[in-house]
Structure 1
Amino acid sequence: MYNRILVPTDGSQPATAAIEEGVTLAAQNDAELHALYVVEPIPLGGFSAGPGPASAEWDGVVDKQRAEGEAATAAVAQRGQEQDVDVVEAIEHGKPNQEILEYAADHDIDAIVMGTHGRSGADRLVVGSVTEKVVRKSDVPVLTVRMS
């Protein structure tokens, strides 16, 4: 039924619950699992795009986000390997809901599995709205997973 399943991840506990569902669904369908982390460019006070110390600080933030993304997608790959599921790791840059939907379209994804909550604090609200936007605009089924 499903050949390619997308699991967007931010490395949070709710994302981990979605990963478990995604890996299980991929194993049941002998499907390829795609792990996607989106680095969102967030304008922060004191950071600028121009040359100089502020630019170096901004580069550090992006590097840190990219490292978080690599760790998050590697965790999905490890979990997939444990269940004999092929995992494709990807990191994109942009607005998460847009990048998730574009990735799904560009890679012929058959289903998306996402957590309903993300990190704590303000990030939790952002990730929740990302899931909602993906559910509303996706051309493929979206399985939402609540953290137990």
Structure 2
Amino acid sequence: MSKIMIAVDLSSYSTSVIAAGMQLARSTHSPVILTSILDKNTEVVPVIEAVGPSAEELNGRLKDIIAHLENYKEQYPDVTVTVTATLGNPKEDILEQAAEESATTLVIGTHGRTGLDHLLIGSTAEFVIRHSSIPVLVVPYRKEKH
């Protein structure tokens, strides 16, 4: 049986990524794991600086993310959806979680960054595509032609 994992960052276009994943789930009658990974590298400032969010604040943010994802779950009542959110490294944790959940397909979005932004920020989608052992459906941010 197939299982689809949809990984989103809750940016403005996550809705289109989730819609594409749900459409795939409907057509294949597959359950979905809807997940978001709060990037520990951008959310947690070293303790030395003592300005980073507390564990309580991070747990609150994770609860907010889960609540946000639960709203999507309600929009697709005909699809079996499990919601998760964790603090970690999105690039690696998406792949790790997909393996743990026995996902057969990953659905992710791409911001379509190029040049310096791409070099500085890196590309989670690119990393996942290069390292995934299962098929990856990438939903592009830019819908217009170049």
TM category, shorter: 0.7 to 0.9
Residue 106 of structure 1 pairs with residue 100 of structure 2: yes
Which of 84, 89, 110 in structure 2 is aligned with 1:90?
84
Cα offset, 1:93, TM superposition: 2.3
Residue 138 of structure 1 pairs with residue 137 of structure 2: no
* TM-score (norm: length of structure 2): 0.78
State the 4+ residue runs in structure 1 displaced beyond 3 angstroms.
54-57
Match of 1:22, SS state, is helix
2:26 matched to which residue of 1? Answer: 27
Cα offset, 1:5, TM superposition: 0.3
Number of positions where the alignment pairs a residue of Structure 1 with one of Structure 2:
135
Residues 82-139 of structure 1 show CA distances to partners (whole Å, capped at 9, x for unaligned) of xx00001112221001110011111110111111129xxx7xx74x611111011000
The AA in structure 2 aligned to 1:31 is S
The AA in structure 1 aligned to 2:106 is I
The AA in structure 2 aligned to 1:142 is V
Residue 66 of structure 1 pairs with residue 70 of structure 2: no
- 1: CA distance between counterparts of 2:88 and 2:52? 20
Greater displacement, 55-64 / 85-94: 55-64
The AA in structure 2 aligned to 1:73 is L
1:18 matched to which residue of 2? Answer: 17
Task: Give ranges in structure 1 of 5+ residues lacking alignment.
Answer: none
Task: Give ranges in structure 2 of 5+ residues lacking alignment.
Answer: none
Cα offset, 1:75, TM superposition: 3.0
Match of 1:13, SS state, is coil
The AA in structure 2 aligned to 1:80 is Y
2:37 matched to which residue of 1? Answer: 38
User: Contact 1:10–1:72 (CA<8 Å) still a contact in 2?
Assistant: no
Match of 2:13, SS state, is helix
The AA in structure 2 aligned to 1:77 is K
Cα offset, 1:55, TM superposition: 8.1
Task: State, as a whole percentage, how many aligned pairs show the same letter.
Answer: 27
**Change in CA separation of 1:145 and 1:59 when aligned onto 2, cut-off 3 Å:** same
